C-alpha cells in the first residue's frame, strides 16, 4: 500500500470545500493508504484533502500513549469517518495547543468546543454517533475543518501563539498535556 504525500499550507487542495462521498465503499483503498501514511510517521489524524483528494473522509485515532495519566478518556482505535458532521454540545471553548501535518514544525493555541457530538458513516455505509470531549473533540474539530478548507491558524484568536516547535527549548513540548487540559476540564 502506498504512503501518500501530505501537502502543505498554501496548496490549493487545502483551501476548497471537499465533496460529500456518495459510496463509502469506494474509499476503502484511500482510507487504508491514509492510515498507513499516519502509522509511518506515528501521527493520529488526517483528512483526505491533505493527500489531495477532495472528498469528505477523515482517518483518526486516540492512542493510549497520547492519554496522560489521570485523564478520564479511553483510547479510540483507527476510525474512518465518511461525511462527518460535528455539532457542538457546549458553547464553551477552551484553547488547546495543536499542530498539523500540513504545517510541520508549528504549534498553535486554538479555541475549540469542549464537547461535541459527531455523526458519520463508516466505510460500509453504517451510521455512527459519538460524543467527544477535550483533546478527542479538538482532534475531530481540527480534522473536519480540513474538509471545509479551514486550517487551524484561521481559528486562532491570538496569532502571537503560533509558534515554531524549535523555539520551545530543551525537549519541552506543548504537545504534552495535563490530564485536565486533555479532558477539557
Ligand atoms: Ni491538520
User: What is the C-alpha separation between 77 and 112, in angstroms, rounded?
Assistant: 22
- Whole-number Å distance, alpha carbon 56 to ligand 1 midpoint, is 14
177 or 18, higher pLDDT: 18
- Whole-number Å distance, alpha carbon 146 to ligand 1 midpoint, is 7
The string of pLDDT tens digits covering residues 131-160 is: 999 999 999 999 999 999 999 999 999 999
| Predicted pLDDT of residue 167 | 82
- Whole-number Å distance, alpha carbon 72 to ligand 1 midpoint, is 24
* Within-domain flag for 78: yes
Residue bearing cell 485523564: 71
pLDDT of 13 higher than 80: yes
CATH number, residue 143 = 3.90.45.10
Domain count, the chain: 1
pLDDT of 27 higher than 60: yes
- Give yes or no: 143 in active site: yes
* Segment 98-114 mean pLDDT: 95
Question: Which range of residues forms the domain containing residue 31?
Answer: 12-183
Which residues lie near ion ligand 1 (Cβ < 5 Å)? 100
* Within-domain flag for 66: yes
The string of pLDDT tens digits covering residues 46-84 is: 999 999 999 999 999 999 999 999 999 999 999 999 999
Asked if residues 43 and 102 have their Cβ atoms less than 8 Å apart, the reply is no
| Predicted pLDDT of residue 106 | 94
Number of H helices, E strands in the chain: 3, 8
* Within-domain flag for 5: no
* Within-domain flag for 122: yes
What is the chain's mean pLDDT, rounded? Answer: 94
Asked if residues 112 and 13 have their Cβ atoms less than 8 Å apart, the reply is no
Q: What percent of the chain has pLDDT over 90?
A: 87
* Within-domain flag for 149: yes
- Whole-number Å distance, alpha carbon 135 to ligand 1 midpoint, is 14
Asked if residues 144 and 12 have their Cβ atoms less than 8 Å apart, the reply is no
Q: Which of 99, 63, 59 is nearest to 79 (CA)?
A: 59
Q: Report residue 176's pLDDT band, with 50, 70 and 90 as the boundaries.
A: confident
* Within-domain flag for 1: no
* Within-domain flag for 55: yes
Find how far residue 70's CA is from the centre of its chain: 23
* Within-domain flag for 2: no
Burial class (CB in 10 A: 0-12, 13-18, 19+), 69: exposed
User: φ, ψ for residue 141 (rounded to 5)?
Assistant: -60, -40
Burial class (CB in 10 A: 0-12, 13-18, 19+), 174: middle
* Residue of 52, 143, 167, 181 with catalytic role: 143
* Segment 96-114 mean pLDDT: 95
User: What is the C-alpha separation between 145 and 147, in angstroms, rounded?
Assistant: 5
- Which element (helix H / strand E) includes 72? none
* Segment 1-19 mean pLDDT: 95
Amino acid at each position: 500500500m502506498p504512503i501518500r504525500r501530505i501537502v502543505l499550507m498554501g496548496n490549493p487542495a487545502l483551501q476548497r470545500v471537499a465533496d460529500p462521498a456518495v459510496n463509502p465503499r469506494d474509499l476503502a483503498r484511500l482510507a487504508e493508504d491514509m492510515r498507513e501514511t499516519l502509522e509511518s510517521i506515528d501521527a493520529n489524524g488526517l483528512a483526505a484533502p491533505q493527500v489531495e483528494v477532495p472528498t469528505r473522509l477523515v482517518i483518526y485515532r486516540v492512542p493510549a500513549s497520547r492519554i496522560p495519566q489521570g485523564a478520564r478518556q479511553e483510547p479510540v482505535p483507527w476510525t474512518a469517518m465518511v461525511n462527518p458532521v460535528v455539532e457542538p454540545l457546549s458553547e464553551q471553548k477552551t484553547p488547546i495547543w495543536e499542530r498539523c501535518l500540513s504545517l510541520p514544525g508549528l504549534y498553535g493555541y486554538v479555541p475549540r468546543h469542549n464537547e461535541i457530538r459527531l455523526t458519520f458513516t463508516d466505510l460500509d455505509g453504517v451510521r455512527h454517533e459519538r460524543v467527544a470531549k477535550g483533546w478527542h473533540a479538538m482532534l475531530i474539530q481540527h480534522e473536519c475543518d480540513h474538509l471545509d478548507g479551514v486550517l487551524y491558524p484561521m481559528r486562532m484568536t491570538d496569532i502571537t501563539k503560533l509558534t515554531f516547535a524549535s523555539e520551545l527549548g530543551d525537549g519541552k513540548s506543548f504537545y504534552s498535556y495535563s490530564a485536565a487540559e486533555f479532558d477539557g476540564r
